[in-house]
């Protein structure tokens, strides 16, 4: 063994004979000692090898409440990291709600209404609720289904909607009429214990009606009010007849017993309805008072009731004669401030009111109007049977107000609330591009000229009398801008008028009348309306060309040199400004939000949003001036460098999808 060991190399265990070692190697110790020890290995592992690389010291978390908080974060904050198994269901829901949504591919989902959410203005109505209402609406498709007095039903067909080929209720009418008429199962009038139509006191019913613009909300609240008036009148007539019969029998008894009595001279007593209306409709502007007043007048021709519209557009003598006419008054249509000042002088004015309607409730219950409106509600409450709040939008402020003040209110909301109909198309004109280069006024004038030119092309071949005048409404954000812009447009040959609170109210009503003119739809138009109201999206090809978006400016650059206010529609007749380039057959109304609420601009097919509206509420009201009652319409929004393009984009996308804005 020793011999063999002596020939082995202590490192590689090869025999010295087979593998000669380098000459420099010399054993430092006797070979015998080396043989007895375990041969050392060159591949000895470190005892720390299992620990891995030393970890860097964890950095102290930066306070998120510092100027740099939230910067350069490579890991999600703690609340986003969770193990589903170790947290409660409630906690899990909370975390999931706040965590960014993950799309299937792991990419962050794009929020289609991110910018609108940041300035969320509208109250949310769940899609489940909208869906369930849709089902209920399918069941009622005729005015005959509602428990209206025959004379009221007749007034709809022969008065309010006269001229329509076939008259069917709109969604809000299908929803509101049964509720306001107190129909239990949608067919019969529900009569509660101790309750009559208008006479005896009962608990006040409260309703919030909300439906898209131009959907017939006025008739939805007006018909039940008139129906209730007529029923109360019938009851009173009956009571009067009984009283008269009793009086006659007493007189007959006296005559029979031959009692002597001096005949007292007959006294002309004023009617109980003189200066004591039974129903009041409140609206924010004199124009709306005129509009709703005109509708009630039409209904009254058949139904026979007395209505009085009062606003600052009338003189005090006219107002007095209407309110205190000896023949009495049943319904008063007014603005809150005027009514409040009259009620201060004559506290009994509201003593018999059983029905109070607050139309455009989103305006009348906002900060500026709310104290006056609320004071009127409070004064009328003792005799009130029904309070109806009506609006095209439910802003969050209105939602909170109703929840606080009228928690028992029944909410009647249509499935398309807050959605701008798909039959309205919104185009964008970039005012920063050639040829406008930031000149908003110029962009507005050019847009109007293009719409006018297109109208002229459409009208070609028709006689002058057949040519319909094109009506365009331009909305600005600032009141001061209305006059200035109208003046500029006139200087460019456009027939433009400004409408603002500064204008004379009587003149305003006259100007607006040219843009509303409620015309009856012919039968073929009605069919088109039906098709459109089925909410089919309109492809851009369906619509006539108007200046739009970037493609519009590109078209103009590529095909022709810019020639503002030129050619075809050139009228040789100079306008009042002596400007020979006059856009014929087109009239423009420049206004602020004042006019955007409720005005039934049936004749308007184009709306220009000179400024980007501040909120989605303004978008809804302004674009709501077109596309009314199934008609098609087009909006053009002018967008500059300072404007929220993301908001405009989201509104357009929402409109295309037929989605409710937020």
Q: Tell whether residue 631 is a contact of ligand ATP (CB under 6 A).
A: no
**Residue among 14 and 519 whose Cβ is closer to ligand ATP:** 519
Q: Tell whether residue 169 is a contact of ligand ATP (CB under 6 A).
A: yes
Rg (CA), the chain: 39
Contact between residue 339 and residue 356 where contact means Cβ atoms under 8 Å apart: no
Backbone phi, then psi, for 558, in 5-degree steps?
-75, -35
How far is the C-alpha of 649 from the C-alpha of 591, rounded, in Å? 24
Q: Tell whether residue 218 is a contact of ligand ATP (CB under 6 A).
A: yes
**Residue among 521 and 588 whose Cβ is closer to ligand ATP:** 521
**Residue among 300 and 579 whose Cβ is closer to ligand ATP:** 300
By residue count, the chain amounts to 662
- Provide DSSP, 394-445: -BHHHHHHHHHH-TTPEEEE-TTTTBPPTTEEEEEEETTSTTTTT-HHHHHH
Give the tokens for residue 206: 């409260």
Q: Which range touches ligand ATP (CB under 6 A), out of 51-59, 503-511, 534-542, 596-604?
A: 596-604
Q: Tell whether residue 493 is a contact of ligand ATP (CB under 6 A).
A: no
Per-residue string for binding with ligand ATP, 301-320, x by CB under 6 A? --------------------
CB of 530: closest distance to ligand ATP in angstroms?
10
Q: Tell whether residue 395 is a contact of ligand ATP (CB under 6 A).
A: no
Q: Among residues 654, 646, 652, which one has the least CA distance to residue 118?
A: 646
Contact between residue 626 and residue 654 where contact means Cβ atoms under 8 Å apart: no
Please tell me whether residue 110 adopts helix, strand or coil conformation. Answer: coil
**Residue among 600 and 650 whose Cβ is closer to ligand ATP:** 600
Q: Which range touches ligand ATP (CB under 6 A), out of 198-206, 208-216, 305-313, 476-484?
A: 208-216
Count other Cβ atoms within 10 Å, centred on residue 392. 25
**Residue among 232 and 602 whose Cβ is closer to ligand ATP:** 602
Give the tokens for residue 342: 């009259």
Q: Tell whether residue 598 is a contact of ligand ATP (CB under 6 A).
A: yes
How far is the C-alpha of 501 from the C-alpha of 497, rounded, in Å? 13
Q: Tell whether residue 600 is a contact of ligand ATP (CB under 6 A).
A: yes
Q: How many CA atoms lie within 13 A of 172 on its CB side?
A: 25
Among 214, 328, 395, 633, interactor with ligand ATP by CB under 6 A: 214
Residues facing 583 on adjacent strands: 570
Q: Which range touches ligand ATP (CB under 6 A), out of 15-23, 29-37, 46-54, 212-220?
A: 212-220
**Residue among 359 and 450 whose Cβ is closer to ligand ATP:** 359
Number of residues that bind ligand ATP (CB under 6 A): 21
Q: Which range touches ligand ATP (CB under 6 A), out of 50-58, 87-95, 569-577, 597-605?
A: 597-605
Q: Which range touches ligand ATP (CB under 6 A), out of 164-172, 274-282, 318-326, 606-614?
A: 164-172
**Residue among 113 and 164 whose Cβ is closer to ligand ATP:** 164
Pairing assessment for the beta strands 279-282 and 307-310 based on DSSP bridges? unpaired
**Residue among 239 and 520 whose Cβ is closer to ligand ATP:** 520
Please tell me whether residue 333 adopts helix, strand or coil conformation. Answer: strand
DSSP state of 467: P
Of all residues in the shown chain, the one whose CB is closest to ligand ATP is 216
Q: Among residues 143, 152, 155, 161, which one has the least CA distance to residue 518?
A: 161
Pairing assessment for the beta strands 279-282 and 355-358 based on DSSP bridges? parallel
Q: What residues between 643 and 662 interact with ligand ATP by CB under 6 A?
A: none
Q: Tell whether residue 518 is a contact of ligand ATP (CB under 6 A).
A: yes
CB of 624: closest distance to ligand ATP in angstroms?
5
Among 215, 335, 416, 586, interactor with ligand ATP by CB under 6 A: 215
Give the tokens for residue 351: 């003593």
Q: Which range touches ligand ATP (CB under 6 A), out of 166-174, 427-435, 463-471, 553-561?
A: 166-174
CB of 178: closest distance to ligand ATP in angstroms?
15
Contact between residue 661 and residue 122 where contact means Cβ atoms under 8 Å apart: yes
How far is the C-alpha of 436 from the C-alpha of 428, rounded, in Å? 14
Q: Where does this chain bind ligand ATP (CB under 6 A)?
A: 161, 164, 169-170, 173, 211, 213-219, 392, 518, 598, 600, 602, 624, 628-629
């Amino acid at each position: 063994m020793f011999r063999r060991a002596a020939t082995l190399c202590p490192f590689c265990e090869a025999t010295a004979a087979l593998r000669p070692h380098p000459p420099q190697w010399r054993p430092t110790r006797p070979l015998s000692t080396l043989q007895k020890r375990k041969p050392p290995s060159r591949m000895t592992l470190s005892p720390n090898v299992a620990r891995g690389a030393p970890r860097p010291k964890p950095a102290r978390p930066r306070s998120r409440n510092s100027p740099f908080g939230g910067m350069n974060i490579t890991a999600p904050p703690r609340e986003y990291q969770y193990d589903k198994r170790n947290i409660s269901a409630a906690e899990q829901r909370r975390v999931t709600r706040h965590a960014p949504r993950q799309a299937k591919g792991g990419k962050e989902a794009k929020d289609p209404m991110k910018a609108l959410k940041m300035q969320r203005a509208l109250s949310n109505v769940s899609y489940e609720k909208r869906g369930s209402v849709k089902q209920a609406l399918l069941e009622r498709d005729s005015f005959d289904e509602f428990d209206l007095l025959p004379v009221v039903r007749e007034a709809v067909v022969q008065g309010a909607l006269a001229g329509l080929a076939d008259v069917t209720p709109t969604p809000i009418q299908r929803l509101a009429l049964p509720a306001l008429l107190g129909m239990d199962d949608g067919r019969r009038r529900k009569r509660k214990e101790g309750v009559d139509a208008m006479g005896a006191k009962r608990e006040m019913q409260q309703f919030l009606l909300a439906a898209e613009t131009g959907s017939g909300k006025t008739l939805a609240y007006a018909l039940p009010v008139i129906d209730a008036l007529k029923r109360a009148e019938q009851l009173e007539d009956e009571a009067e007849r009984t009283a008269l019969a009793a009086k006659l029998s007493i007189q007959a008894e006296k005559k029979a017993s031959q009692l002597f009595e001096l005949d007292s001279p007959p006294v002309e007593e004023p009617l109980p309805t003189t200066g004591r209306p039974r129903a009041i409709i409140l609206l924010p502007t004199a124009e709306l008072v005129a509009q709703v007043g005109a509708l009630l007048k039409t209904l009254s021709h058949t139904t026979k009731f007395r209505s009085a519209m009062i606003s600052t557009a009338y003189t005090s003598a006219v107002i007095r004669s209407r309110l205190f006419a000896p023949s009495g008054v049943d319904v008063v249509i007014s603005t809150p401030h005027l009514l409040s000042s009259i009620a201060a002088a004559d506290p009994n004015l509201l003593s018999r009111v059983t029905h109070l309607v607050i139309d455009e409730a989103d305006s009348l219950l906002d900060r500026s109007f709310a104290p006056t409106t609320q004071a009127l509600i409070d004064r009328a409450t003792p005799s009130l049977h029904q309070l109806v709040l009506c609006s095209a939008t439910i802003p969050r402020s209105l939602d909170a107000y109703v929840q606080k003040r009228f928690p028992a209110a029944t909410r009647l909301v249509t499935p398309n609330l807050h959605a701008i109909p798909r039959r309205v198309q919104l185009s964008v004109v970039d005012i920063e591009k050639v040829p406008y280069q930031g000149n908003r006024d110029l962009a507005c004038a050019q847009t109007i000229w293009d719409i006018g030119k297109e109208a002229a092309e459409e009208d070609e071949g028709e006689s002058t009398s057949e040519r319909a005048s094109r009506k365009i409404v331009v909305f600005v954000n600032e009141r001061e801008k209305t006059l200035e812009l109208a003046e500029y447009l006139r200087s460019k040959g456009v027939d433009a008028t400004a409408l603002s609170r500064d204008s004379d109210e009587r003149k305003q009503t006259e100007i607006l009348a040219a843009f509303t003119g409620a015309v009856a739809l012919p039968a073929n138009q009605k069919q088109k309306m039906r098709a459109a109201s089925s909410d089919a999206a309109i492809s851009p090809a369906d619509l006539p060309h108007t200046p739009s978006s970037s493609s519009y400016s590109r078209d103009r650059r590529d095909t022709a040199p810019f020639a503002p206010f030129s050619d075809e529609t050139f009228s040789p007749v100079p306008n009042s400004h002596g400007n020979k380039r006059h856009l014929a057959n087109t009239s423009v109304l420049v206004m602020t939000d004042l006019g955007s609420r409720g005005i039934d601009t049936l004749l308007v097919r184009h709306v220009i949003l000179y400024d980007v509206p501040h909120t989605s509420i303004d978008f809804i009201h302004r674009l709501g001036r077109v596309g009314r009652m199934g008609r098609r319409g087009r909006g053009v929004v002018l967008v500059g460098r300072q404007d929220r393009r993301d908001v405009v984009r989201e509104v357009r996308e929402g409109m295309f999808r037929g989605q409710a804005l937020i």
